[in-house]
Structure 1
Amino acid sequence: MTTWMLLDYGEVISLPQPVGAVTAMADLAGRDPADFHDRYWRHRDPYDRGQASHLYWSNVLGRELAAGDPLLAELDAADVASWSHLDPAGLDMLGKLAGSHRLALLSNAPESLAAAIDDAPWAEVFAHRFYSCRLGLAKPDAAIFEKVLHRLGADPGEVTFFDDRDVNVRAAAALGITAVLYRP
Structure 2
Amino acid sequence: MNVYDFHVRQMNGKELALSDYKGKILLIVNTASKCGFTPQFEDLEKLFQKYRDHGLVIMGFPCNQFHEQDPESNEKILEYCRSNYGVTFPMLAKTNVKGPQTEPLFRYLTNEKAFQGFHPEHSLTKVLEELLSKEDPNYAQNPDIKWNFTKFLVDRNGNVVARFEPTAGLKEVEDCIRKLL
TM-score range, shorter chain: 0.3 to 0.5
Q: TM-score, normalised by structure 1?
A: 0.36
What TM-score, normalized by structure 2, do the two folds share?
Answer: 0.36
Q: Which has the higher helix share?
A: 1
Greater C-alpha Rg: 1
